Chain A
Amino acid sequence: DQQVKQNSPSLSVQEGRISILNCDYTNSMFDYFLWYKKYPAEGPTFLISISSIKDKNEDGRFTVFLNKSAKHLSLHIVPSQPGDSAVYFCAAQDSNYQLIWGAGTKLIIKP
């Protein structure tokens, strides 16, 4: 049973527009959420995170929103750039500080 779900395997967005990547989770005890970005043949790299006591965290073009009642978080990228094309993983931290990962969403930025 997947505790962290990214239901969209892929997403295609025009350059300059907003990219919205979604993530749902089932365990209400998760207290920290992270987004990682992964290019082909490389390991994931940390992008942005949010604590469960917040509902928004912003870092430049990247904003993560957390809706605890819906057990849903999203990553917004504005404006989208060609270099944003990658696989984005959502991860949640459990009470043992272990990260539980989603399956990833492949973001394609079209020129």
Chain B
Amino acid sequence: DTAVSQTPKYLVTQMGNDKSIKCEQNLGHDTMYWYKQDSKKFLKIMFSYNNKELIINETVPNRFSPKSPDKAHLNLHINSLELGDSAVYFCASSQGANYNEQFFGPGTRLTVL
């Protein structure tokens, strides 16, 4: 009964491929996030959805497209993967957009070869 779950945990793929990472939260939260942890270990916000509506969209290539079928799910689809996309991607959720305590998933380590 993991609060925030992500699949897969590891993803190894070739350049140019399209892949998806799924995220689900069972906390009843309204807001979900995608973060990228880069090689320097900084966590950088990519997207935030509140009740299935996009509220934060940082400067991210449009090859990255989030999809929120319902407020418990926020999936990340990446087209035409590049070497620089290799990173750990974290999904998180919070009670609402104005709630600063965020609950994180275990991360997905993406390796693009």
Residues of A within 8 Å of B13, CB to CB, are none
Q: Across the interface, do A99 and B102 meet the contact criterion of CB distance under 8 Å?
A: yes
Report how many A-B pairs have Cβ atoms within 8 Å: 50
Residues of B within 8 A of A34 (CB): 100-101
Nearest CB on B from A87, distance (A): 8
Name which of B14-22, B38-46, B63-71, B74-82 contacts chain A. B38-46
CB distance from B64 to the nearest CB of A (A): 17
Q: Indicate whether B98 reaches chain A with its CB closer than 8 angstroms.
A: yes
A44 to B42, CA, bound (A): 12
Given A49-B101, A97-B97, A97-B100, the answer on whether A43 and B107 have CB atoms closer than 8 Å is yes
Knowing A97-B98, A98-B45, A103-B41 are in contact, say whether A44-B56 is a contact too (CB < 8 A).
no
A46 cross-chain contacts in B, Cβ below 8 A: 101-103
Closest chain-A Cβ to B95's Cβ sits at a distance in Å of 12
Q: How large is the interface on A (under 10, 10 to 19, 20 to 34, 35 or more residues)?
A: 20 to 34
Q: Which one of A34, A45, A101 has the greatest number of beta carbons of chain B within 10 Å? A: A101
Closest to A106 in B: B41
Task: Determine whether the beta carbon of A103 is less than 8 Å from that of B104.
Answer: no
Q: A99-B45, A101-B42 are in contact. Are A42 and B106 (CB under 8 A)?
A: yes
Residues on A lying within 8 angstroms of B by beta carbon are: 2, 32, 34, 36, 41-46, 49, 87, 89, 91, 93, 96-99, 101-104
**25 cross-chain CB contacts under 8 A:** A2-B42, A32-B100, A34-B100, A41-B9, A41-B107, A42-B106, A43-B4, A43-B92, A43-B105, A43-B107, A44-B43, A44-B90, A46-B101, A46-B103, A49-B100, A89-B43, A93-B100, A96-B56, A97-B97, A97-B100, A98-B48, A98-B56, A99-B45, A99-B102, A101-B42
